[in-house]
Chain A
Amino acid sequence: MIPTTARTLSDDMSKRVLSLERLHVSFFTDAGELAVVRDVSLSVSAGETLALVGESGCGKSVTALATMGLLDHPGRIVAGDITLGDDVISGFSEPQMRKVRGARIGMIFQEPMTSLNPVFTIGRQLAEVLRLHRGHDDRAARLASLALLERVRIPAALERLRQYPHELSGGMKQRIMIAMAIACEPQLLIADEPTTALDVTIQAQILELLDELQKDLGMAVILITHNLGVVAQYAQRVAVMYAGEIVEQAPVTELFADPRHPYTQALLQSLPGTVDPGRQLNVIQGTVPTPREFPAGCRFATRCGEVLSRCASDVPPASRHGGNHVFSCWQRMESTS
């Protein structure tokens, strides 16, 4: 087994929309540098959905924000490249990034209830994006907003444009957020836990809508979630993150059928349904270490059941398993080779 740079993960290079290459993000606090995201490489192609899964605080959202150029002080990209289409956007200035955000990358958030400005009507908020990136005048923006609302299946669109966010339900607001995110037909849509705050029936509708829009627009989608059920249904590929690192990346079917990394295995085994009813579910012992306590080597070393002596000190390289399956684990690397 040869360690690879994760570059070659996606098969079709020409359709690649976004790639992160060896991305490191640190937060510079008074207590020193916290390496929150370490050596993250991933890519998505047009029409493809990449699911980014992991526990809360594992760096999924930080990775997404870094991609958008929205990391707040004291966070900063310390190494690595972010490439969107042919542009290395990690080197872009803020004014350049503003032309990327909303136009070439759309983003939707976890909390639709608070993601819209409470003092403006839906119509004004939608029109603002169109005016900004498309240079529409009022009339053109209005027509385009109507078309967008219909596109995200909002009934009585004309009336909705005049309404304020507090008059709409959570599912409706999330549809409007989606409409705003796709207003300029972006190449990439980042959905940061888009359904976590919604109830189950609405979740399915929203995900179906995203799926459909993706097919229509040929967008690449990064779906951030901790719901493995959602992953299985809507993603083509999965990247599993743990403590700021991608521990395993594979096509969906392969990841569920043949997980390599002990963390992925433990995660899948802890799902309900893996043990007989009435018996206790499997758990992963311990908690995710805080960034201050990250081990120098494999960050899962403190909780791993199959830890080797070198795990705590040496960072495991990415190894390939089959065509598109990459993972980082000393134990598995040695047992397969």
Chain B
Amino acid sequence: MHAQDSSTGSLIAHTESPWRLFWQLLQRDRLAMAGLGILLALAVVALLGKATTEWLVIFDPTTVRLVDKFRAPLSEASALLPDADRPLTGVYLLGTDELGRDVFARMLQGSFVSMSIGFVAVGISIAVGVVLGGIAGYYGEVRIGPVTVDTLIMRFTDAMLCIPIFFLILVVVALLPASIYNIMIVIGLTRWMGISRFVRAEFLSLREQDFVLAARALGLPAYRIIFWHMMPNAMAPVLVTATIGVATAILTESALSFLGFGVQPPFATWGNILADGKNFIFDAPWLFFIPGFAIFVIVLAFNLLGEGMREALNPKLQRR
């Protein structure tokens, strides 16, 4: 191969970035692509849901129609209803709940809330995990008093891992007002430990690599080496964890809502639709199964995509 060194550049192949290679491998994984497809579709639904239930109200999730309580999916709206309260097509696509609210509209609204909680919470945990893990890995040997930076950060991580997170979240949510933002922040701040461990482990091996020494020898400042040069090389496991983490965050929010600690009415989330529905599971099973199925699908899709990414990033497979 070295012999090509002096040859003229006639053999130059088209440029392939590591990310493009990853994408090509991921595309071969049908389950992962199915997961990605579902997620993209759900993301579109969530955005449309936000738009059509709050900004430009086409589907109104808050209208109470006491004459139309517990309508099954696909049933027609009652003729007694005032025109302003009628659903868009005159049909309740996913039925109505105990107050006669349109479940389809509530699911639409809830999709945006649930997904944004998932993404923002994971975003927070990535930010915290990556910064702490990066600092622990890069400055590992530096001492502050009697302990190293690494010891300080990683023992804190271990301590966080020892706390039963769900109960910590319950306590915090019980003390703070249960707004969407508080829930995002609480979930985010209690799920970063896995990421910081991954990033630290990656950094410990990256730190010994020549390109890091070379970057230092070029006079680059430490923050630039950590976040610009090392971080992209450590992102692979983080991405996988994050993908699966979004699913976990959505599940956590659902569980909180189910217990009544989650996002409070009038905001609908899949979790609190499910929680409301559980009281009527025999009378109006759709109230329970529709949000349950939606949560199942989104969690499955995130997990399939996460698994597919893990496979595609596996260096043994990349060699082909």
Q: Name the distance in Å between B233's Cβ and chain A's nearest Cβ.
A: 6
Cα of A94 to Cα of B218 in the assembled complex, Å = 13
Identify the interface centre among A120, A162, A180, A198: most chain B CB within 10 Å of its CB.
A120
Complex contacts, B213 vs chain A, CB 8 Å: 70, 109, 115
Is A115's CB under 8 angstroms from B141's CB? no
Q: Are B4 and A72 in contact (CB under 8 A)?
A: no
**A83 interface hit (Cβ, 8 Å):** no
Chain A residues with CB under 8 Å of B2's CB are: 169-171, 198-199, 201-202
Q: Does B1 contact A (CB under 8 A)?
A: yes
Question: Is A118's CB under 8 angstroms from B6's CB?
Answer: no
Closest to B209 in A: A114
**A57 to B13 CA separation, bound complex (whole angstroms):** 40
Interface residues of B in 172-211 (CB under 8 A from A): 209-211
Chain B residue numbers with a CB within 8 Å of A324 are: none
Contacts of A198 in B (CB 8 A): 2
8 A Cβ contacts from A106-134 to B = 106-107, 109-111, 114-121, 128-129, 132-133
A261 CB contacts on chain B under 8 angstroms:
none
CB–CB A163/B18 < 8 A: no
| A114-B210 in contact (CB<8A) | yes
Complex Cα distance A311/B214, Å? 40
Asked if A156 lies at the interface with its beta carbon under 8 angstroms from chain B, I say yes
Q: Which residue of B lies closest to A203 (CB)?
A: B2
The number of chain B residues touching the other chain, given as a range, is 20 to 34
B30 within 8 A of A: no
Does B215 sit at the interface, judged by CB under 8 A?
yes
Query: A156 to chain B: closest CB distance in Å?
Result: 3
A107 touches B217 (CB 8 A): yes
Which of A68, A73, A114, A205 is in CB contact (< 8 Å) with B5? A205
B142 A156 Cβ-Cβ under 8 A: no
Q: How many residues of A contact B (CB 8 A)?
A: 50
Does B229 count as interface, using CB distance less than 8 angstroms? yes
User: Given A101-B219, A117-B229, A171-B5, is A159 in contact with B12 using a C-beta cutoff of 8 Å?
Assistant: yes
B28 at the binding interface (Cβ < 8 Å): no
Residue B216, interface by CB 8 Å: yes
**CB nearest to B218 among chain A residues:** A102
Decide: A133 and B232 in contact? CB cutoff 8 A.
no
What is the minimal beta-carbon distance from B219 to any residue of chain A, in angstroms? 4
* Given A109-B213, A129-B218, A163 contacting B141 (CB threshold 8 A): no
Q: Given A74-B141, A164-B17: A156 and B12 within 8 A (CB)? A: yes
Q: Do A132 and B210 touch (CB < 8 A)?
A: no
Using Cβ atoms and an 8 Å threshold, which residues of chain B touch A119? 17-19, 232-233
With an 8 A cutoff between CB atoms, is A243 at the interface?
A: no
- Interface presence of A98 (CB below 8 A): yes
A118 touches B214 (CB 8 A): no
Closest to A156 in B: B9
Contact B210 A109 (CB under 8 A): yes
Is there a chain A Cβ closer than 8 Å to B220's Cβ? yes
Contact of A118 among B4, B142, B216, B233 (CB under 8 A): B233
Question: In the complex, what residues of A have CB within 8 A of residue B146's CB?
Answer: none
CB contacts (< 8 Å) of A164 on chain B: these are 15-18
A177 interface residue per 8 A CB criterion: yes
Smallest beta-carbon distance B107→chain A, Å:
40
Complex-state Cα separation, A99 to B218, whole angstroms? 9
**Interface code B232-258, partner A: CB below 8 Å = 1, 0 otherwise?**
110000000000000000000000000
Quick check: B15 and A163 within 8 Å, CB to CB?
Answer: yes
The 13 sampled A-B contact pairs (Cβ below 8 Å) are A70-B216, A97-B219, A101-B218, A107-B217, A109-B214, A114-B211, A116-B214, A119-B18, A129-B218, A133-B219, A169-B1, A170-B2, A201-B3
Given contacts A109-B214, A110-B210, A111-B210, 7 further A-B contacts (CB under 8 A): A109-B217, A115-B211, A118-B211, A119-B233, A128-B218, A164-B15, A169-B1
A interface, CB within 8 angstroms of B: 68, 70, 72-74, 97-103, 106-107, 109-111, 114-121, 128-129, 132-133, 155-156, 159-160, 162-164, 166-167, 169-172, 177, 180-181, 198-199, 201-202, 205
Residues of B within 8 A of A (CB): 1-9, 12-13, 15-19, 141-142, 209-211, 213-221, 229, 232-233
